Amino acid sequence: MARAALSTSAVVDLALQVLDEGGPEALTLSAVSGRAGVTTPSLYKHVRHLADLRALVSARVLNDIADQAGRAVLGRSADEAIRAFMTAWRRYAQHHPHRYSAVLQSPD
């Protein structure tokens, strides 16, 4: 990735790639900066620290889940909507287990 293309959103995209390949333990600033082709201090223009990056990743994952669940319930109501919502949520967790496990369960 070219330095000019590096943004907070791009850093989160790279973090998700690291997460998908190596799981939550693999998510480090060093791993993300290596994937971006920059030094770790270059990331500090876009994220404050690892906890900040983890919070941004968590927010992105929850937004992705919400988008998929929202599409799943569109036009449905009552029990059918609840079933579609839960199915979409479960499907996301099954397809992206590392992303799902990286969602922050409680604030630092």
Which residues, including other chains, have CB under 8 Å from residue 108's CB and lie 6 or more apart? 51
Residue 28 sits in which domain range? 3-101
Distance of CA 70 to the CA centre of its chain: 18
Residue 49 within any structural domain of the chain? yes
What is the count of structural domains for the chain? 1
Q: Tens digit of pLDDT for each residue in 15-50?
A: 999 999 999 999 999 999 999 999 999 999 999 999
pLDDT digits (tens, 9 = 90+) for 73-94: 999 999 999 999 999 999 999 9
Would residue 107 count as lying in a domain? Answer: no
CATH number reported for the structural domain that contains residue 37 in this entry: 1.10.357.10
Tokens representing residue 84 in the block: 């579609």
Global confidence as pTM: 0.89
Q: Is residue 84 part of a domain?
A: yes
Evaluate whether residue 64 is within a structural domain. Answer: yes
CA dihedral 84, 87, 88, 91 (to 10 degrees): -160
Residue 108: inside a domain, yes or no? no
